[in-house]
Structure 1
Amino acid sequence: MSLDSIISALGTEPEPDTASKELALDGREDLSRHSAFAHKLRHEYIDEIKRIGKIKEEFANGILKFLWAFSSFCAIVVVMQAYPQLGFHLDKSIILTLVGGTFASAISLVAIVLRGLFKVEKEPPPLSKEDEKK
């Protein structure tokens, strides 16, 4: 005898027991709890992204301020070198090194900051012939 034949013989379906009701209720509570947890994680993730963005902005501003200060110092040295009546004189090779080093460090700092702030996702490596067969 199958369960369907017993139910049809009785004429009504049996009521679910309390354990089944509790299980269904627990399932809805678990879903609600997981949904609330996912919502909380999403907001924490967004807050973390904002915090990292602020740190990156402060770092970039600091680099820019350093670059301005160092470039200004080099410009002052070059201007002082241009007027011998100021009593300031450096060898030509020192001035060339100072100006060349400033230019190189300015370009490299800009490149490093831009690469760090605006990361580009690398493309995945091409599939090998063995992977393509799968």
Structure 2
Amino acid sequence: MSTEESWGPAESAGPTRASVRTRTVRKAAIGLGTGAAAAVYLWHTDPHQPGQLLIPCPFKWATGLLCPVCGGTRMAYDLMHGDVVTAFHDNAVLLTLAGPAVAYAVGRWLAAGLGGRVYRPRLSARGNAVALGIAAVWMVARNLVG
């Protein structure tokens, strides 16, 4: 009996641990490089000053209202420069809730990928409702308060 007959075709077994690790390292390196380039650009570009070459929020452009993530670029700039109080003022919910949630998900993905496992985060219907509810309440509150 040949190895192929006893184990089955290699492509039906799914990705190997080594290929998952390689893919994870490659994606993490691309993400880290892109993030570092964006951080270097943002470090030298003050988004609090008008006339900077930054992508404007399409929702604010179309409606004149702040979306749930408006202020995220200013928040990142302030955090890079060590001004946590101003970063909190720029977008409190993004800083306190979304930042740690994204860090947790990326950490889980990286740990699983380096361990040779595929991590596919899934958000339940209740989780979606909570996330959308927080975003909606935050958007309404920050536009009413100003």
TM surpasses 0.5: no
**Which structure shows the higher helix fraction?**
1
Question: Into which bin does the TM-score normalised by the smaller protein fall?
Answer: 0.3 to 0.5
Structure possessing the higher relative contact order (Cα contacts under 8 Å, 6 or more residues apart): 2
Query: Which is higher, the Rg of structure 1 or of structure 2?
Result: 1
Q: TM-score, normalised by structure 1?
A: 0.33
Query: Could you state the TM-score of these two structures normalised by the residue count of structure 2?
Result: 0.31
